[in-house]
Amino acid sequence: MSSYGNYCYIELRLQKNGKGMKKFLFSALLLLLVYCQRVENQAISECGKAYPKMKCIPAGNFIRGSNVYEKDEKPEQTIYVSEFYMDTYEVTNEDFNKCIDAGKCKECLKNKTCNYIGPRYGKPYMGQKQPIAGVSWYTAKEYCEYMGKRLPTEAEWEKAARGVNGDIYSWGNEPADCTRAVIEENGKKGCGKDKDLPTSDVGTRASGKYGLYDMAGNSWEWVNDYYTKSFEACGEDCSKKDPKGPCDGKESCPGFERRVLKGGSWWWDKNYARGSKRRHHDPKNYPEYHHFGFRCAKD
């Protein structure tokens, strides 16, 4: 019996023994299921650290990108990402306000890398457990660093959302709907039935890969990478071990200006909630302003 990554197999040498065949196969199947569960649990426990309110994403290969959907998602590739940790939930208003109360997370207003922090749609988006919305990439980065963390790379985020096999969504390949994600459905934002609704409290839908919540829908999430028109155009910077995109995502990168967002949101339909879907925007989040959020990662 052997295992490789998240795949299990068993070598069975079957003899044609009449009545005993069904019993043998049933026993072998039970043994295989138990073994695969043990391997899965071992994969989760391989990580050597534990951080509060974060989940471990074990080291290894995963399938990134897509040859089926949009041009900027091409090509589909096998990418290696080292072990890292991801926030279980999107950063909430409650979380973010602690940084503001400490006199931090406002630097972008001083150096003019943003002109506003927080939701502009008012009270419906300001619940303590709702995801923070309306922050620049710079503010997201500042918050993560304040917490002793960092923004995830695009590759890290996509692995955390899709798992190793390149599933379409964080729960698998079943279509996204309002039972699984906070999205637009039947023309109504935020899964509203008779009217549009705002973001929901984090964690209102079942968790997906690695026990992470809202990796599809609720709030778009900033990642660290600069946007390129495709992974092919990006080249080695996007295909090497632990890729970080152009200039390794550093703040200054000649020829690159816009940063990547992932995950879709309450405002957009199921197609935007795909794990391989890429959106890009000015990291200052102005003059065109959007209600973007984020979550943090850690080595």
In this predicted model, which residue has the larger pLDDT, 116 or 32?
116
Q: Any long-range contacts for 10-14 (C-beta under 8 Å, 24+ apart)?
A: 10/35
State the chain's mean pLDDT as an integer.
Answer: 89
The token duo for 268 is 């957009």
- Give the mean model confidence (pLDDT) for residues 115-140: 95
The token duo for 141 is 């980065």
> pLDDT tens across 73-95, in order?
999 999 999 999 999 999 999 99
> pLDDT tens across 191-230, in order?
999 899 999 999 999 999 999 999 999 999 999 999 999 9
Q: Is the pLDDT of residue 45 over 80?
A: no
Q: What is the pLDDT of residue 41?
A: 37
Q: What is the pLDDT of residue 294?
A: 98
Query: How many other CB atoms are there within 10 angstroms of residue 15's CB atom?
Result: 8
Q: What is the pLDDT of residue 14?
A: 35
Q: What is the pLDDT of residue 236?
A: 97
Q: What is the pLDDT of residue 20?
A: 56
Q: What is the pLDDT of residue 23?
A: 57
Q: Is the pLDDT of residue 7 over 80?
A: no
> pLDDT tens across 148-193, in order?
999 999 999 999 999 999 999 999 999 999 999 999 999 999 999 9
Q: What is the pLDDT of residue 48?
A: 84
CA angle 115, 116, 119 (to 5 degrees): 155
Residue listed under structure tokens 């406002």: 106
Is there a contact between 153 and 243 (Cβ–Cβ < 8 Å)? yes
Q: What is the pLDDT of residue 33?
A: 46
For the chain, what is the total number of helices (H) and then of strands (E)? 7, 10
> pLDDT tens across 15-44, in order?
444 555 555 455 555 544 434 443 333 344
Q: Is the pLDDT of residue 4 over 50?
A: no
User: 74-94: buried (b, 16+ CB within 10 Å) or exposed (e) per residue?
Assistant: bebbebebeebbbbbbbbbbe
* CA distances in angstroms from 294 to 67, 178, 222, 254, listed in the order given: 26, 21, 5, 25
Q: What is the pLDDT of residue 47?
A: 86
**Which amino acid, one-letter code, is at 264?**
G
Query: How many other CB atoms are there within 10 angstroms of residue 145's CB atom?
Result: 14
CA pair distance 86, 12, nearest whole angstrom:
39
Q: What is the pLDDT of residue 153?
A: 98
Q: What is the pLDDT of residue 16?
A: 41
Looking at the chain, the whole-number percentage of residues with pLDDT higher than 70 is 85
Q: Can you list the domains of the chain with their CATH numbers?
A: 8-45 (no CATH), 48-298 (3.90.1580.10)
Helices (H), the chain: 20-45, 93-101, 107-111, 137-146, 154-162, 231-234, 236-239
Task: Work out the widest C-alpha separation in the chain, in whole angstroms.
Answer: 80
Q: Is the pLDDT of residue 46 over 80?
A: no
